[in-house]
Amino acid sequence: MAQLGQHPKSKQLYLGSIPFAAAPFLAPLVLGGATGLGLSLVWIAFAAFVGVAGIVSLVGARVVHARALAVLAALGVLAGLVAVLGAIWLLGITSSSRATALALGAAFALSFGISHLLDRLSRPGALDHSGAQAG
C-alpha cells in the first residue's frame, strides 16, 4: 500500500482510486464477448495502463502540487490514448469494431488517469500545500 499523507482525506482518496484501477481490467471479462473483441480488450486495457502509468511514473515522482498532478494525469490519459491507438493498429482490429475499441480504450485510459490522480493525491504533501512548494 502506498504511504498515505497526513491529510484527513488521504485514505478516502486512496480507497477511491482502487475501483478506477480495477474497472478497466474487469470490463474485458464482461464486455469481451458482447463487443466481439474478446481478448483484444485485455490488450487495449493493458496499453491504456502502460500509457498512463508510464507518464505518471516517469514525471510524477517529483510532482507534489495538486494542480500539477491533475495536469500530469491529463497528459497520462493522452499517452494512454496514443497507446490504445497503437494497440488497435497492432491487433489489426477491423473498421467495424475500431470505434468500439477506441471508445472503450478511451474509457480505460480515463479510468486509469483518475486512479493515478487519486492515488497521488493521497500521498504525503499533495493536499498539505496551500499553493507553494515546500523547499
Look at residue 60 and tell me if it is in a domain: yes
Look at residue 56 and tell me if it is in a domain: yes
pLDDT at residue number 60: 67
In this structure, what DSSP letter does residue 131 have? S
Look at 13 and 61; give whichever has higher pLDDT. Answer: 13
Q: What domain range includes position 45?
A: 10-121
Look at residue 34 and tell me if it is in a domain: yes
Q: What is the pLDDT of residues 17-39, one digit of tens each?
A: 888 888 888 888 888 778 888 88
Look at residue 70 and tell me if it is in a domain: yes
Look at residue 134 and tell me if it is in a domain: no
Look at residue 5 and tell me if it is in a domain: no
pTM of the entire structure? 0.80
The string of DSSP letters for 39-87 reads THHHHHHHHHHHHHHHHHHHHTTS--SHHHHHHHHHHHHHHHHHHHHHH
Task: Count up the domains in the chain and report the number.
Answer: 1
Look at residue 106 and tell me if it is in a domain: yes
Q: Is residue 132 over pLDDT 60?
A: no
How far apart are the C-alpha atoms of 25 and 3, rounded to whole Å?
Answer: 24
Look at residue 20 and tell me if it is in a domain: yes
